[in-house]
Amino acid sequence: MLKNIVLIRDPDCNIYLLDQEILIDTGTGRHFSEIKKFIEADFNASKIKAIINTHCHYDHTGGDKKFRDWLGADILIHKNDADALENATETTAAALFNVKAKAVTVDRKLANNDTINTKNFSLKVIHTPGHTSGSICLYDKNNNFMITGDTLFADAFGRTDLPTGNEKQMKESLEKILGINPKHIFPGHGNPKSNGIDFLIKQLLNKIS
Ligand SMILES: [Zn+2]
């Protein structure tokens, strides 16, 4: 892992702690107390000021409310996925987890090219629709890494058959990431990957007509 990026392996989705300041995604919330203990043991939780959701799916956002209540942190998500979160709509895909999503107030709606800065990182919002309409990746140019949510995994791209998913948009989003060609990717599930991201994406693009 890169310095100042901590991967917290929630069984439901990968949670990343960046610079002790930003939490990326929160899992379903089922494992909130274990994750809280883990963070408290090694980090200063009072420094965490924002929770950024890569997209609105329940396995990434179900814990938002618990984490916000604990941390007093703002919740950020792309504007296209904000409604799903704020109104707990079927776009959260909570039904896949046999639960009803809970409405969560969004503090800041993100748009393409917005920037979120921490002590060591400058994260640029890359709008990458396809998995959901408001899916984003976060790119740090200096360290050449990208948080890719469920858009790009170490060996696959995210499914496009859920509400607001779109295969054509997924293709364009993968091409966008290919144009940036980050050295490291940190996906929403599975393992991070370093090097050969361009080769990976070219192979995946062949699978989309
Ligand atoms: Zn998802």
Confidence check: pLDDT of 137 > 90: yes
State how far the Cα of 58 lies from the Cα of 92, in Å rounded to an integer. 5
Going from the Cα of 151 to the center of ligand 1, the distance in angstroms, rounded, reads: 8
**Distances from the Cα of 109 to the Cαs of 30, 53, 100, 117, 178, in angstroms?**
25, 10, 23, 16, 25
DSSP 8-state symbol, 152: B
Q: Strands 122-127 and 136-140: what pairing?
A: antiparallel
Going from the Cα of 127 to the center of ligand 1, the distance in angstroms, rounded, reads: 15
DSSP 8-state symbol, 46: G
- Three-state secondary structure call for residue 108: strand
Which two structure tokens, joined as six digits, stand for 193? 């990957």
pLDDT recorded at residue 78: 98
Rounded to an integer, the average pLDDT of 157-186 is 98
Rounded to an integer, the average pLDDT of 160-181 is 98
Going from the Cα of 161 to the center of ligand 1, the distance in angstroms, rounded, reads: 11
Going from the Cα of 131 to the center of ligand 1, the distance in angstroms, rounded, reads: 7
- Average pLDDT for the chain: 97
Domains of the chain with CATH codes: 5-205 (3.60.15.10)
Going from the Cα of 91 to the center of ligand 1, the distance in angstroms, rounded, reads: 10
Going from the Cα of 154 to the center of ligand 1, the distance in angstroms, rounded, reads: 15
Please, which residues bridge with residue 9 across strands? 14
Q: Cβ-count burial of 11 within 10 angstroms (0-12 exposed, 13-18 middle, 19+ buried)?
A: exposed
Rounded to an integer, the average pLDDT of 46-71 is 97
pLDDT recorded at residue 209: 75
Going from the Cα of 160 to the center of ligand 1, the distance in angstroms, rounded, reads: 9
Torsion sign (Cα): 103, 107, 109, 114: negative
Q: Give percent of the chain above pLDDT 70.
A: 100
Q: How confident is the model at residue 130 (pLDDT cuts 50, 70, 90)?
A: very high
Question: CB within 8 A of 70, min separation 6: which ones?
Answer: 36, 45
Q: How confident is the model at residue 2 (pLDDT cuts 50, 70, 90)?
A: confident
Going from the Cα of 135 to the center of ligand 1, the distance in angstroms, rounded, reads: 9
Placement of tokens 């998913």 in the chain: 165
Q: What is the value of pTM for the model shown?
A: 0.97
pLDDT tens-digit map of 73-123:
999 999 999 999 999 999 999 999 999 998 999 999 999 999 999 999 999
Which two structure tokens, joined as six digits, stand for 203? 């192979």
